[in-house]
């Protein structure tokens, strides 16, 4: 049962950003500051111009600069009578999913089916579970996001300086991300990159949809490399050079080869092979992350093992391919 309380202070609030806060997106700052406020309401405040920077309207993706003056209106916050308890099984799953950790950050092998954060009907996500697992670490923050059904490498900052540093690396494209995707059909050998601008929309239901839009879309580039061809599908490595919402999913769909198991951008009637291999979710896995270590300055690489369900699908496809070759 939820109750509504008034966010303190009850009048307009002004915040001047310092150097440590510079570089982060405005919407991410507001989501963190206004805990308990639905994200849809935060974006509504931005659209209506009630949240302003230096007395001007700004977009959600505005990058905060040192010295910026934020105007924040009074906000009503939805609070639960009691916090949601994270199940012990989930806490253990998160603990077992840690691939790498140092003083400033950690990398998780995010399980498929788990959102990165709570909201929109989700009681809690990876970041809330990690905070429950480590109550003494108050500064844990998501560095980037993965879709709920996507598994693999997810970076978490353990301090504000680490978050600012990693966000800067993302902006400067010093973080290299590699995904594994199984797509429908035979990917054209000549297609090594998809450079199509993307526009994000929000439907009346609140669902986010992204489409190619050459007039209003923002720059979006993904490169692709074929790992293996199968009878009715292709296993690809995808390297997004920009970090747009659903970028790989929309770029593959735009070529006519959507990701297998994609119920948002995929084919209405998936090829028979996807059903035969028992694929029950989006075949997209954040395989590898490369970044420059904050302390040593060395380039670091972390890989997340392919999730068991996707590994079984690849094995079945491989066996099917082998049997066809033997018969030939």
Q: Domain of residue 23: give its range.
A: 2-80
pLDDT of residue 325: 43
CB count within 10 Å of CB 106 equals 21
Spatial contact of 63 and 23, defined as CB atoms under 8 Å apart? yes
Residue 86: φ, ψ to 5°: -85, 125
- pLDDT confidence of residue 12: 78
* pTM for the whole structure: 0.74
Evaluate if residue 34 carries a pLDDT over 90.
no
Of all residues in the chain, the percent with pLDDT exceeding 90 is 53
Q: Which residue among 166, 200, 225 closes a domain?
A: 166
CATH number of the domain at 38, please.
Answer: 3.10.290.10
User: Do 92 and 220 belong together in one domain?
Assistant: no
pLDDT of residue 7: 43
Q: Are residues 181 and 319 in the same domain?
A: yes
Rounded CA-CA distance 258/260 in Å is: 6
- Predicted confidence band at 6 (pLDDT cuts at 50, 70, 90)? very low
Residues of the chain with pLDDT > 70: what percent? 85
Last residue of one domain, picked from the residues 49, 80, 111: 80
Q: Catalytic residue at 136? A: no
C-alpha 75/C-alpha 72 separation (Å) is 8
Q: What is the pLDDT of residue 272?
A: 52
Give yes or no: residues 178 and 312 share one domain: yes
Q: Which of 58, 80, 102 is the last residue of a domain?
A: 80
Q: For residues 196 and 294, state if they share a domain.
A: yes
- Give the count of beta carbons closer than 10 Å to the beta carbon of residue 304: 22
Higher pLDDT, 293 or 78: 293
* pLDDT tens for each residue of 90-116: 999 999 999 999 999 999 999 999 999
CATH of the domain at 201: 3.30.2350.10
Q: Are residues 156 and 201 in the same domain?
A: no
Same domain, 183 and 315: yes
Domain count for the chain, please give it: 3
User: Are 220 and 129 within one domain?
Assistant: no
Give burial (CB, 10 Å; 0-12/13-18/19+) of 298: exposed
Given the residues 81, 147, 262, 309, the one annotated as active site: 147
Is the preceding peptide bond at 115 cis, omega within 30 degrees of 0? no
Cβ neighbors of 233 (< 8 A, separation 6 or more) are 182, 183, 184, 185, 260, 271, 273, 274, 317
**Are both 113 and 10 inside the same structural domain?**
no
205 Cβ contact partners less than 8 Å away, ≥ 6 residues apart:
none
Question: What does the alpha-carbon distance between residue 179 and residue 144 come to, in Å, rounded to a whole number?
Answer: 14
Express each pLDDT in 160-218 by its tens digit.
Answer: 899 999 999 999 999 999 999 999 999 999 999 999 999 988 665 556 789 999 999 99
Residues 303 and 234 occupy one common structural domain: yes
Mean pLDDT of 237-258: 94
| Residues 209 and 320 occupy one common structural domain | yes
250 and 143 together in one domain: no
Give the mean pLDDT of the chain: 85
Task: Report the C-alpha dihedral over residues 58, 63, 66, 72, rounded to 10 degrees.
Answer: 40
Q: Within this chain, do residues 185 and 322 fall inside the same structural domain, yes or no? A: yes
């Amino acid at each position: 049962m939820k109750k509504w309380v008034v966010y303190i202070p009850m009048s307009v609030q002004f915040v001047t950003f310092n150097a440590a806060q510079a570089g982060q997106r405005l919407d991410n700052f507001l989501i963190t500051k206004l805990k308990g406020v639905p994200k849809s309401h935060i974006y509504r405040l931005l659209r209506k111009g009630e949240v302003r920077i230096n007395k001007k309207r700004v977009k959600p993706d505005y990058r905060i600069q040192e010295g910026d003056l934020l105007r924040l209106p009074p906000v009503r916050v939805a609070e639960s009578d009691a916090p949601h308890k994270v199940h012990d099984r989930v806490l253990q799953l998160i603990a077992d999913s840690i691939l790498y950790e140092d003083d400033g950050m950690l990398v998780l092998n995010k399980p498929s089916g788990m959102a990165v954060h709570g909201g929109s009907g989700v009681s809690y996500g990876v970041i809330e579970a990690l905070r429950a697992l480590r109550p003494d670490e108050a500064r844990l923050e998501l560095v980037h996001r993965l879709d709920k059904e996507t598994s693999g490498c997810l970076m978490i900052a353990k301090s504000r300086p680490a978050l600012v540093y990693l966000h800067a690396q993302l902006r400067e494209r010093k973080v290299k991300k590699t995904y594994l995707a199984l797509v429908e059909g035979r990917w054209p050998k000549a297609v090594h990159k998809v450079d199509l601008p993307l526009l994000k929309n929000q439907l009346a239901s609140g669902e986010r949809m992204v489409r190619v839009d050459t007039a209003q879309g923002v720059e979006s580039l993904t490169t692709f490399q074929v790992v293996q061809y199968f009878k009715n599908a292709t296993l690809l490595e995808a390297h997004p050079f920009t970090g747009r919402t659903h970028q790989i999913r929309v770029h593959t769909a735009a070529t006519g080869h959507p990701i297998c198991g994609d119920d948002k951008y995929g084919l209405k009637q998936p090829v028979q092979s996807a059903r035969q291999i028992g694929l029950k979710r989006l075949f997209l896995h954040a395989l590898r992350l490369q970044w420059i270590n904050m302390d040593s300055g060395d380039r670091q690489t972390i890989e997340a093992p392919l999730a068991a369900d996707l590994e079984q699908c690849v094995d079945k496809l491989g066996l099917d391919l082998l049997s066809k070759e033997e018969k030939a």
